[in-house]
Amino acid sequence: MNDFRRMLVLVRHGQSEDNLQDLFSGLRDPALTPRGVEEAHAAGRELKRLGFRFTHAFTSVQGRALRTMEIILAELGLSDLPVLSDPALNERDYGQLAGLNKTQARARFSAEQVRVWRKSFHAVPPGGESLAMTADRVWPFYEREIAPAIREGGCALLVGHGNALRSMLMRLDGIDPRDIEEVNIGTAEFLIYRMAEDGSLVRTNLESGKAAAAGAA
C-alpha cells in the first residue's frame, strides 16, 4: 500500500476555450471546453485509482483552474476539502498578447519575437510578465503555504496553469533557464512529487502523466 504522506501532485487545468482556439490566455478567464471537463474527470479518476487522499488543495482564482479542481475533488469523493485559491497562482500575464491567436501574434510582432516571449525565462511581452516574474510570485506562495503542509505530513493537490507550473518546475526539477523553453505540460497532465528528508521534492515512481480522456489527442 502506498504511503501518500509528504506528497505533492501538480495538475494543469483541463482544456479551455482559449486553448481550443489557440489563443494566448494569461489573465483572461475562459471556461473549460467539454473535452476539458472530461480531461478533468479522467485525471480525477486516475488519481483515485492510484489511491490519493489529499489533505490540502491549492489553486488560482481563475475559473478554469477552479472548475478543474472541483471536478477532480468530486471524483475523489473530497468535495468538502477546503481549497485555498490565491492570485499568486494565477497564470502568467501575457499583456498585449492576451486574446490573440498565435498566427495573429506572429503577424503583429514576428514569429521569433513571439517564440521568445512564450518560451524564454526573462523576456517580457508588452504589458505582461516574464516567466521569471511569474516565478517571483508562485515560488514564495509554495514556500509559505504548500511546503509547510507537505512537511507536516500532508498530501497536497495543486491545480494550476501551464506557465505558472513551468515556473515551479524550474525549482522543483532544477531546470536551467536556458532549457525551460523545451518544457511543456499538457492540459490535465499531472506530476507527482514526494518530499525528501532535506525538504526538496523529487519525482516519484508512481505512475504520472496525462490520464486518458475521451477525444483526447
Catalytic site residue from 13, 41, 56, 161: 13
Cβ-contact 146, 156 below 8 angstroms: yes
Domain ranges of the chain: 7-45+68-154+174-208
Catalytic site residue from 46, 75, 91, 129: 91
CA distances from 70 to 47, 64, 76, 89 (A): 14, 10, 10, 16
96 is in an annotated binding site: no
110 is in an annotated binding site: no
64 is in an annotated binding site: yes
Q: pLDDT by residue (tens digit) across 19-55? A: 999 999 999 999 999 999 999 999 999 999 999 999 9
- 41: annotated active-site residue: no
Other Cβ atoms less than 10 A from the Cβ of 60: the count is 24
93 is in an annotated binding site: yes
- 152: annotated active-site residue: no
The 8-class DSSP code of residue 188 comes to T
Determine the CATH number of domain 7-45+68-154+174-208: 3.40.50.1240
Task: Take residue 176 and report the three cell numbers written for it.
Answer: 536551467
Q: pLDDT by residue (tens digit) across 110-169? A: 999 998 998 888 999 999 999 999 999 999 999 999 999 999 999 999 999 999 999 999
Q: pTM higher than 0.75 for the full model?
A: yes
**pLDDT at residue 179 in the model:** 84
16 is in an annotated binding site: yes
